[in-house]
Amino acid sequence: MRVLGIDPGIAIVGFGFIDKIGHKLTPVQYGAITTEAHTPPEQRLLQVYESAGALMDKYKPDAVAVEKLFFNRNVTTAFDVAQARGAIILAAAQRGLSIGEYTPLQVKQAVVGYGKAEKKQVQEMVKMFLKLSAVPKPDDVADALAVAICHAHSAVLTNKINEVKRS
């Protein structure tokens, strides 16, 4: 199973493709989609949508796992991130891909075993799980890989839940 993990954003979208074969996780490709700060919002969303779609077309994931929006104090940022998240989910849905959504707490629980783990702990576990020589940078990339790992660990249960929802 190939999973695309996404850490959504408007300036930086972290992405990471991993393959799960049995219990083994292997990194395929990872990086970031970036948009320029002074670009009109609609152009930034278009760039996120098109870039995410191109990555999906190139690496052919079986599933897309997206981090759920954690609402903090900055409402404007939250709306921008929510719109980018929607663009990515639309690109996945248009390709008929299975979509999993996970809260930061669920991701930390799946990767570290503790829902209130520090960011550094998550990054080190991503490095260990995927046998990487260094923690991926920027942080959004490591976060995206953590989301992919979370989905890989819980995909069977997630698929069953989605089947029940569709019934």
Catalytic status, residue 163: no
Catalytic status, residue 139: no
Among 57, 140, 143, 163, the active-site one is 140
Q: Tell me, what amino acid is at 99?
A: I
SS in 3 state form for the chain?
CEEEEEECCCCEEEEEEEEEECCEEEEEEEEEEECCCCCCHHHHHHHHHHHHHHHHHHHCCCEEEEECCCCCCCHHHHHHHHHHHHHHHHHHHHCCCEEEEECHHHHHHHHHCCCCCCHHHHHHHHHHHCCCCCCCCCHHHHHHHHHHHHHHHHHHHHHHHHHHHHC
Among 19, 57, 67, 139, the active-site one is 67
Catalytic status, residue 42: no
Residues annotated catalytic, as ranges: 7, 67, 140
